[in-house]
Structure 1
Amino acid sequence: MLGLLLLQVLASCHWLGHSKVETPFGSCNQFFYARVPPNNALNPKNPAWICQHFRNSYHYATLYDRDRRIPVYSAYKYRPRSTEKPPEWWMVEPQLIDEKVDLEDMGRESDLIAQHHFTLEQIEESQAVLDDYKGLKDLDLGCLNPSGHMESRESKMATFSLTNVVPQDSVLHKGQWNIYESKTMPQQTKDCTITYVITGAVPGSTDIAEGRVNRPSHIWSAACCLVGTKPTSAWGAIAENDKNQVENLSLGKLEERLTELYGGPVTLFDNACPRQ
């Protein structure tokens, strides 16, 4: 069973992460174009704004749903680069256990229990743990911010966080969503000076791990491309989380679709990013 889990880890995002909880994104709003996060239509009832921190740097930002134990979205700058493969450790977020705890970096469950005297029950109260993803059938650990979109060894390591993971349909994850991440994105961004990305998951009606972790109904992603300092293009993608199909669409059409799915008007980027 452990071997199967490790294979799922490798198929997902491959590496580890550290974090800092913010309200909201005070230390890491640089991962949003014009430092403007999505509007509140995406906010869950029990949110955590996490600045994913590792080795003296912030690498991306995540809005986390403590009740459903999945990320709502992760926001990052698209900077793909091949680097040496780092260690394969899954991490959890100590500040989701207790916001008063003086631990900026994430840690492995075993280390938090042994070194900081947390219990597993404390850790799993408001976030997913490794046991939640054991024995998955037809599902992978799908990283919203994939390691392949990161530049440095440290930033790739930072994606290996359970706060960046959702249960994703295995065929979609290895199929059309992988094609979007590894082929469509490089094509779309070839002339961009910098590309801001927000990738999210729409909460679904089913769960895994005996109801602990929500299985999203849809996976979506949006990007805003800058040439120099000016936004020149933007786009989106969305997929139902039980079909191997990705629909590529404009940023405006994606926001319209998400408005229907979330039940309120959704704005993902600053208005300067083109909607058509």
Structure 2
Amino acid sequence: MVPKWGATAPDVVSLCQRFRNRYHFATLYDTHHRIAVYSAYQFQESNGGGREKSWFVEPQLVNPSWQAEMKDGYWLGKDHPGVYQGERQALNEDYTHSGFDRGHLNPNGHHAVPSRNATFTLTNVVPQNRKLNQNAWRIHETQLTSLFRAKCSRAYVLVGAIPSADKWIVKNNVNRVNIPDYLWNAYCCVDNNGKVIQSGGASARNTESNWVEQYTLDELEEFLQQFANQPVGELFYNNCR
């Protein structure tokens, strides 16, 4: 189950991220800001590999009648020459020379192949401060990996971004991709019987400050409520209690 929060906002679409004829995770995507509200996934033990050299786009965001499977933008362009792919989503060239990393929300290191490959879609990344992405946030993701391996039979995770009011990657004088003010995540860890073992959350300012703040789920919901026009509600079923 994914949270209802954010799903009724204008310009937001729900994506089931499909790769190699299989669904791997879910994303709530904001087509105005061209970043995800959040990605939702179940942790998997990584078996290495699975790093894509290019980035996928969502054909269904170009034309709803097109395939629901992510595709390399180059090859999508070969299939549909002359059709602009970036009206409702970010493109790889938006990030080129932007000074920002293509920061995964759903991290590739939390998956085995082929789900690991599926995380390399531009609907699953946001413009992330390089220092944060490569230091504190990376360390936080690694710590979650250790926790999930040690304690959880299953771990359910949400990772999202809070858009900024006026910071954008600009290309040709057009606001292309919103640069979020914050990244956040939440997890619910259960045993083989579905009994809750542990839960928690975190947030980080998308700046050089390079610091991750830890929360309980209740504290994280209070944090998110500051930026919401509607009740955040439960992030997990029964709030992972």
The two structures share one fold, judged by TM-score above 0.5: yes
Distance (Å, rounded) in 2 between the aligned partners of 1:142 and 1:230: 32
Q: Which residue of 1 aligns with 2:109?
A: 148
Q: CA deviation at 1:118?
A: 4.9
What amino acid sits opposite 2:108 in the alignment?
S
CA–CA separation in structure 2 for the residues paired with 1:166 and 1:253: 24
Secondary structure of 1:225 counterpart: strand
**Structure 2 match to 1:270:** 237
Amino acid at match of 2:159: T
Q: Secondary structure at the match of 1:182?
A: helix
Aligned residue in 1 for 2:90: 128
My pick for the range that moved more, 222-231 or 109-118, is 109-118
- Which residue identity is paired with 2:137? W
Do the aligned partners of residues 164 and 230 (structure 1) sit closer, same or farther apart at CA in structure 2, a change above 3 Å counting?
A: same
Partner residue of 1:255? Answer: 221
Q: Aligned partners of 1:89, 1:49: CA distance in 2, in Å?
A: 23
Q: Distance in 1 between matches of 2:32 and 2:168?
A: 12
Q: 1:247 to 1:189 in 2, by over 3 A?
A: farther
The answer on 1:179 being equivalent to 2:146 is: no
Partner residue in 2 for 1:53 = 18
Please give the residue correspondences for 1:72-91 in structure 2 after superposition, counting only pairs within 5 Å: 72-91=37-56
The letter for the 1-side match of 2:30 is: D
Task: Please name the residue that 2:73 is paired with.
Answer: 109
User: 1:191 aligned to 110, 130, 151, which one?
Assistant: 151
Paired residues of 2:90 and 2:123 also in contact (CA < 8 A)? yes
**Aligned partners of 2:168 and 2:51: how far apart in 1?**
31
Q: Which amino acid aligns with 1:125?
A: E
The answer for unaligned runs of 5 or more in structure 1 is 1-34
Unmatched tracts of structure 2, length 5 or more: none
Cα distance in 2, alignment partners of residues 123 and 273 from structure 1: 39
Q: TM-score under structure 1 normalisation? A: 0.80
Q: 1:42, CA displacement in angstroms?
A: 5.9
Distance 1:78 1:124, change over 3 A: same
Q: Give, in whole Å, the separation in 1 of the partners of 2:232 and 2:75.
A: 39
Q: Which amino acid aligns with 1:249?
A: Y
| 1:272 CA displacement | 4.8
> Aligned pairs, how many?
234
CA distance in 1, matches of 2:191, 2:97: 45
Structure showing the higher helix proportion among its residues = 1
1:116: how far off?
2.7
RMSD: 1.6
Q: Which whole-Å deviations, capped at 9, do the CAs of 1:152-205 have from their partners, x for residues lacking one?
A: x21111000001010011111111101100124423552111000000000112
Partners of 1:237 and 1:185 in 2: CA distance: 14
Are the counterparts in 1 of residues 7 and 28 from structure 2 also a CA contact under 8 Å? no
Match of 1:19 in 2: none
Within 2, Cα distance between the matches of 1:60 and 1:85? 16
Alignment of 1:175-254 (within 5 A): 175-187=135-147, 190-205=150-165, 206-210=167-171, 211-228=175-192, 229-242=194-207, 243-254=209-220
Identity among equivalent positions (%) equals 38
1:31 maps to none
Q: TM-score with structure 2 length normalisation?
A: 0.91
The alpha carbon displacement at 1:86 in A equals 4.4
Q: Aligned match of 2:128 in 143, 163, 168?
A: 168
Q: Which amino acid aligns with 2:104?
A: C
SS of the equivalent of 1:52 reads strand
Off by >6 Å, runs of 4+ in structure 1: none
Q: Which amino acid aligns with 2:36?
A: P
